[in-house]
Structure 1
Amino acid sequence: MASSDFTLSVADCPLIQVEGWDGTLSQFESSLSASLGAKLPASVGETVRHQSLLVIRIAPRRLWLALDDGTQAPTLAIDPDLGCSVCLGEGRVRFGLAGVDISSVLSTCMAVDWHAPAAAPGRAVQTSFHHVPVLLLRTGKTACDLIVPRTFSRSLHDWIMDHQASPAGS
């Protein structure tokens, strides 16, 4: 995709994982929603934006709270009888990708149907990128964010840059 409109940005990814215990989900979600002052996404892959926080349901009982870079993490008071939280930000990096041919570049390395409702703008899809687990956040018609493990960020960055520069991502 030797396109001049392609952009790739890399930033730290302040991220908190919260999970409710089996059998306590309703109580856990009510408490978390009240603590955040925001509605929670109902289904896996759904996202909800609340100010500088993106709430992503990545599993039936698990949510990721992705903060905009430079944003202070919310204070969460999670009852240990209902669930737990853990900071994942030190181990993740956020790639921001945009360009008209982005889907053709990404299709060479990840199994995501760019045109499926599950991958529509505003949705999140867990997949792998060149054999590395990533979370794809579809941010627009020709844009997405990838939340990738920090340990693989350099090689994934290089892979994207190499493939976006070659004709048809080959």
Structure 2
Amino acid sequence: MASPDFSLSVADCPLIQVEGWDGTLGQFESSLSTSLGTKLPASVGETVRHKGFLVIRVAPRRLWLALDDGAQAPSLAVDPDLGCSVSLDEGRVRFRMAGADIARVLSKCIAVDWRASAAAPGRAVLTSLHHVPVLFLRTGETACELMVPRSFSRSLSDWIADAAK
């Protein structure tokens, strides 16, 4: 779906989740940062872009690595005594939305204030769309992504398309 004021595209979402065990967070983060070759986001909602992927802190001990289209997954060496990693590729789809009308469309779909600092470009917010958990990622002044469960992607894209009318 595309118009001058709003566009929506749907694509696979290469995604890796990493999580540190309780009591090992400092050591886990130091090891992960070294393995990835970049600093990690400090607080929930922060993101860090690095070499073909975006590191998103989705919870105090949980990070998602969202790979750019065509990017290879970084090699992770997560010590099982410190945490774990799991691919979420098969379970998520990425909705990319853009256009001057995006704030109006999203206001009908998700409970995120487009003007709030928590939803500023480069920030991520866990929310829901029609009772389905989604990750909202603001990518620009008039652009964002939603990472949604694959099993709900068809109905959610239809929901957004209806909101855009």
Q: Assess same fold via TM > 0.5.
A: yes
Alignment correspondent of 1:60: 60
Q: Give 1:1-170 correspondences, 5 Å limit.
A: 4-164=4-164, 166=165
The one-letter code of the counterpart of 1:138 is R
Q: Secondary structure of the residue that 2:154 maps to in structure 1?
A: helix
Contact 2:5 2:101 in 1 (8 A): no
C-alpha RMSD of the superposition: 1.2
Q: Secondary structure of the residue that 1:118 maps to in structure 2?
A: helix
Offset at residue 4 of structure 1 (A): 2.8
Question: Normalising by the residue count of structure 1, what TM-score does the alignment of the two structures yield?
Answer: 0.93
% identity of equivalent residues:
79
Structure of higher RCO (CA pairs closer than 8 Å, 6+ residues apart): 1
Offset at residue 110 of structure 1 (A): 1.1
Aligned length: 164
Deviations 1:73-132 (A, max 9, x none): 111110000000010011000000001121111111211011110000000000001111
Separation in 2, partners of 1:28, 1:57: 14
Unaligned runs of 5+ in 1: none
Contact 2:111 2:128 in 1 (8 A): yes
Separation in 2, partners of 1:154, 1:13: 15
Question: Normalising by the residue count of structure 2, what TM-score does the alignment of the two structures yield?
Answer: 0.96
Moved over 2 A (4+): 2-5
Unaligned runs of 5+ in 2: none
